[in-house]
């Protein structure tokens, strides 16, 4: 089965959190944001989960560097995201596709479709990531950037459905049981079970306070 080339990109605190207990997630310096926007510009599509849209209301467009806007992909199994989210109301900037399930409210599906948002409904819940990737590949998506959040990243990690993991370590510590981990889910039991990575690059950010790491998945 063919899938796009998948890069997971996340910025986290030193203790591995991508958001605080209150949902605060603005961790990147200007250079890291430019790296992220450059990664968007070089990708055919960018994918996030429902919680990212609910908490951050992102545009997921390219603004800090020159380049094209990628297709925006939202995975939202119960269609909890607001129909007023910016990704659904800026289709003049980039197309948006939502993958959901039969648990979604039909009225919201009809409303989004009437606005020009493509909505794909699966009869499985949670939304099967492998089928999402298969459908995106059929639509001509050869490269996919996954930006989060933690639960969404877990679905990619547990199935080993990614090629690269790019992490920026920001010089903060959030702590707290309710803070959001870079990878959520139930987790692996030990290093034999865990996903194994190979480090390709480690460099100090231009700001002098962050470290950017680039790994590839070891098959």
pLDDT, position 158: 96
What is the value of pTM for the model shown? 0.97
Q: Looking at residue 3, what is its pLDDT?
A: 96
**CA–CA distance, 130 with 125 (Å, rounded to integer):** 13
Domain count, the chain: 1
pLDDT at position 119: 98
Residue 23's Cβ-count burial label (10 Å; 0-12, 13-18, 19+) is middle
Q: Report the CATH number that the domain containing residue 164 is assigned in CATH.
A: 3.40.430.10
Contact 82, 58 (CB under 8 A): no
DSSP-derived secondary structure letter, 50: H
Q: Cα separation of 8 and 129, whole Å?
A: 14
The pLDDT tens digits of the residues spanning 34-54 come to 999 999 999 999 999 999 999
3-state class (DSSP) for residue 99: strand
Q: Which domain holds residue 115?
A: 5-217
3-state secondary structure of 90: coil
Is 201 within 8 Å of 214 (Cβ atoms)?
yes
> What pLDDT shows up at residue 201?
98
188 in Cβ contact with 11 (< 8 Å): no
| pLDDT-above-70 percentage for the chain | 100
Write the DSSP assignment of 115-149 as a string of letters: TT-EEEEESSSS--HHHHHHHHHHTT--EEEEEE-
Measure the CA angle with vertex 157, ends 31 and 206; round to 5°: 15
In sign, the C-alpha dihedral spanning 100, 103, 108, 114 is positive
Q: What is the pLDDT of residue 66?
A: 97
Ranges of the chain whose pLDDT falls below 50: none
Per-residue model confidence (pLDDT) at position 61 = 98
pLDDT value at residue 45: 98
What is the pLDDT, as a whole number, of residue 219?
Answer: 81
Q: Is 31 left (phi over 0), alpha (psi -120 to 50) or beta?
A: alpha
| Residue written as token pair 């998948």 | 6
């Amino acid at each position: 089965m063919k899938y796009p080339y998948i890069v997971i990109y996340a910025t986290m605190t030193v203790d591995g959190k991508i958001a605080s207990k209150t949902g605060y997630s603005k961790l990147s310096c200007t250079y890291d944001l430019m790296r992220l926007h450059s990664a968007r510009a070089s990708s055919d599509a960018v994918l996030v989960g429902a919680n990212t849209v609910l908490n951050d209301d992102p545009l997921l467009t390219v603004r800090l560097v020159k380049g094209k806007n990628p297709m925006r992909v939202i995975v939202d199994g119960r269609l909890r995201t607001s129909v007023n989210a910016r990704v659904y109301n800026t289709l003049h900037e980039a197309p948006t596709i939502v993958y959901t399930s039969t648990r979604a409210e039909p009225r919201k599906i009809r409303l989004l479709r009437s606005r020009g948002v493509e909505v794909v409904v699966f009869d499985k819940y949670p939304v099967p990531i492998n089928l999402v990737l298969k459908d995106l590949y059929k639509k001509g998506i050869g490269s996919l950037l996954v930006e989060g959040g933690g639960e969404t990243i877990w679905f990619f990690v547990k199935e080993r459905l990614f090629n690269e993991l790019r992490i920026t370590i920001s010089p903060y510590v959030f702590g707290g049981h309710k803070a959001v981990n870079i990878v959520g889910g139930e987790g692996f039991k030990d290093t034999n079970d865990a996903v194994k990575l190979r480090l390709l690059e480690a460099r100090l950010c231009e700001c002098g306070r962050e470290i950017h790491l680039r790994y590839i998945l070891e098959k």
